[in-house]
Structures are given as C-alpha cells and as structure tokens.
Amino acid sequence: MTREDRAITIVELLTQAMAAIDHGEQAEQLVCTTLAKTSHAESAALIGLDVGHKLHLHAAWPDQRHATVLAEFASHGHHTESQLHIGQHPVLGEVVTIGPELDQHANLERARVLALARRGGFSPEAHALFAESVAPLTLLLPHVAEACGREQSVRTAAEAAAALNLTAREVEVLQLLAEGLLARTIAARLGLSPRTVHKHLSNVYSKLGVHDRLVAVSIARAQGLIAA
C-alpha cells in the first residue's frame, strides 16, 4: 500500500463515516471494520467507558469473541501522551491502539479507543496507515460517538414508549412537561387546546401508573423515554 493508497483509504473512511452519521447508520462499526480489513487485523474493537467508568464495547470485528479480550487489554491504558501505542498480547499478538487514555478524556461519553490485533504482527504499510490515521480519527471518533449516542437514545425511547403503549404525542407532551412547561404553554407550543393537553397528560399518568408530574418525569427519564 503506497502513501497515496493510504491517503485515499483515510479520505474514503472519513467520507463514509460522515455519510453513515447523516443516514443514522452505525458509523462506529464502519470505522472499526474498515481499518481492520485494510490493515489485515485478525480482531478489532472500538471501546469506551460508560458513566460508571465501566468498559463498553461499541464495535467489534469480526465478532465479539476475540474483540472482548482485545478490549480488556486495550482499556488498561498506555500511560503516555501518544495517541498511538503498540503492545504485545500473549494470545492476540501485536496490539495497536489509536486514541486517548480513556480515563483522562475531558468528555467521557465521546471518548473512544480503537484497538487492532494480529498474531503475526502488522506490516510496515499497516503501521504507516495507523500513524497517518491518528489525526483524522482523533477528530472523527468523538463526532461518531456523539451521533451513535443520539441514535441509541432514539431507539431506547422508541422501545420504552412501545412497551408502555405511549403514543408519539404523549411522549412529546411528557418531554415538554419535563422541561417545566405548564399545560397551557404546552398547548400553545404544540398548537393544541389545553383540554387536549390535559387529556394526553391523564393518559400518560395512567399508563405510567402515577398521579404526579414529578414522579412521571422521573420514571420517564429512568426508562429513557425522554432526555435527562
């Protein structure tokens, strides 16, 4: 792979990732798979930490079996300012990690590290690709993480609403209620009558099994129905 080939690969990766974000597709998996295949890695994992600082596997290639072991190895951090680190795993072989030390990242929700492994070691061309990918990935991955987080929130909210038999309008009213708006203001915002809004709220309370707006909002947030 020449330098020009590597540049084309990186540009195509950035273009495809941004397109995936625009279409609501899994951009994290795309990044993980593309670099794994291009570098001839045998396993790859895109990892982050959740709000409890627990390891979370956001994407895996070719499957989760080896990626889980790789993620655990890469999550220990390399304790250096470099965004590119090379290590050795007794089973997985050479491990390359691209990204910041997760615990030290300013925005934990957007922090991601890409780890790739190959038992026989990566070729010089692959190492060159990794080095040239550091800067683009440093800029790209936080945006990819944010977009995937939004998509996950939308899916979680839709699943929770379906489970509770809430309509889209009832969820919309509940979200505005959580923002502190009164029924009259919600009605004006949605172009409804106050009576209709009160009817929606009555349905929401009934389906959630509550009689208080604060409790309803608390349950809705806990279920992922509305933004926290």
pLDDT tens by residue, 116-158: 999 999 999 999 999 999 999 888 888 887 776 676 677 778 8
pLDDT at 116: 95
Domain of residue 54: give its range: 3-155
Which pLDDT tens digit goes with each residue over 196-206?
999 999 999 99
Inside any domain, residue 101: yes
H/E stretch holding 105 reads none
Shared-domain flag, residues 135 and 202: no
What is the value of pTM for the model shown?
0.68
Taking phi over 0 as left and psi of -120 to 50 as alpha, with beta for the rest, 119 belongs to: alpha
pLDDT at 88 over 90: yes
Shared-domain flag, residues 69 and 173: no
pLDDT at 105: 56
Q: Which tokens belong to 32?
A: 């993980």
pLDDT at 108: 62
Shared-domain flag, residues 78 and 148: yes
Task: Choose between 62 and 52: higher pLDDT.
Answer: 62
Mean pLDDT within 75-84: 68
Tell me the one-letter amino acid at 110. Answer: R
| 34 close to 140: Cβ distance less than 8 angstroms | no
Tell me how long the chain is.
Answer: 228
Return the SS3 of 200: helix
How many domains is the chain partitioned into structurally? Answer: 2
Write the CATH number for 194. Answer: 1.10.10.10
Shared-domain flag, residues 143 and 63: yes
φ, ψ for residue 112 (rounded to 5)? Answer: -140, 145
Mean pLDDT within 167-181: 90
Dihedral angle over CA of 150, 151, 154, 155, nearest 10: -140
| 201 close to 215: Cβ distance less than 8 angstroms | no
Mean pLDDT within 175-179: 90
Examine the fold and report which residue of 104, 129, 155 is the final residue of a domain before the chain moves on: 155
Inside any domain, residue 228: no
Shared-domain flag, residues 87 and 183: no
Examine the fold and report which residue of 98, 121, 155 is the final residue of a domain before the chain moves on: 155
Of the chain, the percentage scoring pLDDT greater than 70 comes to 91
Examine the fold and report which residue of 155, 187, 211 is the final residue of a domain before the chain moves on: 155
Q: For residues 216 and 201, what is the distance between their CA atoms, to the nearest angstrom?
A: 10
